[in-house]
Amino acid sequence: MTHISGIRIEKDNEGRPAYARFNLKKHPEILDLLQRIGALEMEDDFEKEWGKGLSIEEVRKEMYKQIDEWFKK
């Protein structure tokens, strides 16, 4: 088998190829491939939750609503 810099094939106990390790600094195109097939998700949980947050306008509306309720009491 040809040796390619930045890619290492690891074998299991029986000598069969089991894993492939890629140096992503040398082969960044692997990231694109992993994203296309759905094996890698670049957006983390923080970004997903941040996207669900309230906008400035929604916060103002809720804030004014709460203040109005305080003064009605």
Note the pLDDT tens digit of each residue in 12-71. Answer: 999 999 999 999 999 999 988 988 888 877 667 787 788 888 889 999 999 999 999 998
Number of structural domains the chain divides into: 1
Domain hosting residue 30, numbered range:
7-72
> 19 in a domain, yes or no?
yes
Answer yes or no: is 2 within a domain. no
- Residue 33 falls inside a structural domain: yes
Q: How far apart are CA 18 and CA 45, in angstroms?
A: 30
Task: Give the model's pLDDT for residue 66.
Answer: 93
d(CA 3, CA 70): 72
Assigned domain for 61 exists: yes
Residue 11 has pLDDT above 80, yes or no: yes
The verdict on residue 65 lying in a domain is yes
Closest C-alpha to 22, from 40, 9, 36, 13: 9
pTM of the entire predicted model: 0.47
The tokens of 10 are what? 């690891």
62 in any annotated domain:
yes
pLDDT band of 1, cuts 50, 70, 90: low
Any domain includes 1 = no
For residues 24 and 29, give the distance between their C-alpha atoms in angstroms, rounded to a whole number: 8
